[in-house]
């Protein structure tokens, strides 16, 4: 999709961070926008920021973990805008804790949003994207879908799953000579609310020796790229039909380290966490 002018773009998790920045950037490219989020307040703020900036905007409160709700939203987008050309499955949450301490319900929660949300969005929009004659699926993984971190097993599992799903989807679409393509996005640290709205188990303080709030602040220090820049890189990736998009120098460095030391990188990471916590 070389040109985005007058295309209909649907974005999940558009009430904050990368999703909100994407909505603003896509509006500037001439897109008609269909935005959703589980937070009505977040969506209202995004809509306020878009006033006078977008050709057309519709919003819907949708929980991406709810398959029926995502399906109904996709149908409503086509009813409202006449078609759908682009879906960005962006909504996501974070979870931190040791495997021993996290419950299987914690894993179900994060997989329900980060992985199943992506599957729901892809499946619900795919027929509409095909019908539009020119479509694109963008699924947001993470640099933690390329390299694993201690204390982030649920997040890592969900983001590796998004990567596997999206890379396979891209090949399906090529094999079937579809008019739809797919891109998997791996952001490094982006300055958003993700760490502040994360579920952080007490085991994190036990392992790092830092209270949860301090650990969140430490983590936020590694957020170096703005959401606006992330949105530009994602849209450029769609225009160039990239299979994989890395965002930020930190994502490129971690990707390179994982290629050079596919398992050895783990020792580097645990060493860094240990020295930060003085253990
Ligand atoms: N910020 C980073 O450093 C970073 C790095 C790599 C990947 N990501 C990914 O980028 C995506 C966007 O995150 P962000 O950093 O902008 O975070 P954010 O917290 O600022 O925004 C996430 C949005 O998703 C929404 N959301 C949460 N649960 C939802 C649900 N069940 N249904 C619908 N919406 C829901 C939230 O209300 C929020 O508006 C996520 O998938 C995240 O994992 C972020």
Give the position, in ligand 1's atom list, of the atom nearest the Cα of 19.
16
Q: What is the mean pLDDT of residues 22-46?
A: 98
Contact 278, 272 (CB under 8 A): no
Q: What is the mean pLDDT of residues 231-246?
A: 98
Ligand 1 pocket list (CB less than 6 A): 12-13, 15-19, 37-39, 42, 63-65, 90-93, 113, 140, 142, 187, 189-190, 192-194, 197, 223
Residue 82 has pLDDT above 80, yes or no: yes
Residue 278 has pLDDT above 70, yes or no: no
Give the position, in ligand 1's atom list, of the atom nearest the Cα of 63.
32
**How is the chain split into domains, by residue range?**
8-251
For the question of residue 155 being annotated catalytic, the response is yes
Q: What is the mean pLDDT of residues 229-249?
A: 98
With bands split at pLDDT 50, 70 and 90, how would you rate the model's confidence at 279? low
Contact 16, 42 (CB under 8 A): yes
Q: What is the mean pLDDT of residues 157-178?
A: 98
Q: What is the mean pLDDT of residues 215-226?
A: 87
Give the pLDDT confidence of 58-71 residue by residue, as tens digits: 999 999 999 999 99
Token look-up 């499955």 returns 89
Q: What is the pLDDT of residue 165?
A: 99
Give the position, in ligand 1's atom list, of the atom nearest the Cα of 192.
20
- Domain covering 8-251 in this structure, CATH number: 3.40.50.720
Global pTM?
A: 0.97
| Consecutive H or E run containing 58 | strand 57-61
Closest residue by Cα to atom 42, ligand 1, is 92
> What letter does residue 123 receive in the DSSP assignment?
H
Q: Kindly state the greatest CA–CA separation across the chain.
A: 58
Q: For residue 29, which of 267, 266, 244, 232 has the smallest C-alpha distance?
A: 232
Residue 45 has pLDDT above 70, yes or no: yes
Give the pLDDT confidence of 91-121 residue by residue, as tens digits: 999 999 999 999 999 999 999 999 999 999 9
């Amino acid at each position: 999709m070389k040109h985005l002018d007058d295309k209909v773009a649907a974005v999940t998790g558009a009430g904050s961070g990368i999703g909100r920045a994407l909505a603003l950037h896509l509006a500037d490219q001439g897109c008609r926008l269909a935005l959703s989020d589980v937070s009505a307040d977040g969506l209202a703020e995004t809509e306020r920021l878009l006033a006078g900036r977008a050709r057309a905007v519709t919003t819907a409160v949708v929980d991406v973990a709810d398959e029926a709700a995502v399906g109904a939203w996709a149908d409503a987008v086509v009813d409202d805008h006449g078609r759908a050309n682009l879906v960005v499955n962006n909504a996501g949450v974070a979870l931190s804790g040791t495997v021993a301490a996290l419950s299987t319900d914690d894993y179900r929660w994060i997989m329900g949003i980060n992985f199943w949300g992506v599957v729901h969005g892809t499946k619900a929009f795919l027929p509409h994207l095909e019908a539009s004659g020119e479509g694109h699926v963008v699924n947001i993984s993470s640099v933690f879908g390329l390299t694993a971190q201690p204390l982030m097993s649920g997040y890592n599992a969900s983001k590796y799953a998004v990567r596997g799903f999206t890379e396979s989807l891209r090949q399906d679409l090529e094999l079937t000579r579809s008019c739809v393509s797919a891109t998997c996005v791996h952001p490094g640290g982006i300055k958003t609310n993700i760490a502040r709205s994360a579920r952080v188990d007490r085991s994190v303080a036990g392992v790092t020796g830092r209270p949860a709030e301090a650990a969140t602040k430490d983590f936020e220090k590694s957020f170096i790229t703005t959401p606006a820049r992330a949105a530009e890189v994602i849209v450029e990736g769609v225009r160039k039909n990239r299979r994989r998009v890395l965002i930020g120098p930190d994502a490129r460095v971690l990707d390179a380290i994982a290629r050079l030391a596919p398992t050895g990188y783990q020792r580097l990471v645990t060493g860094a966490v240990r020295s930060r916590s003085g253990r």
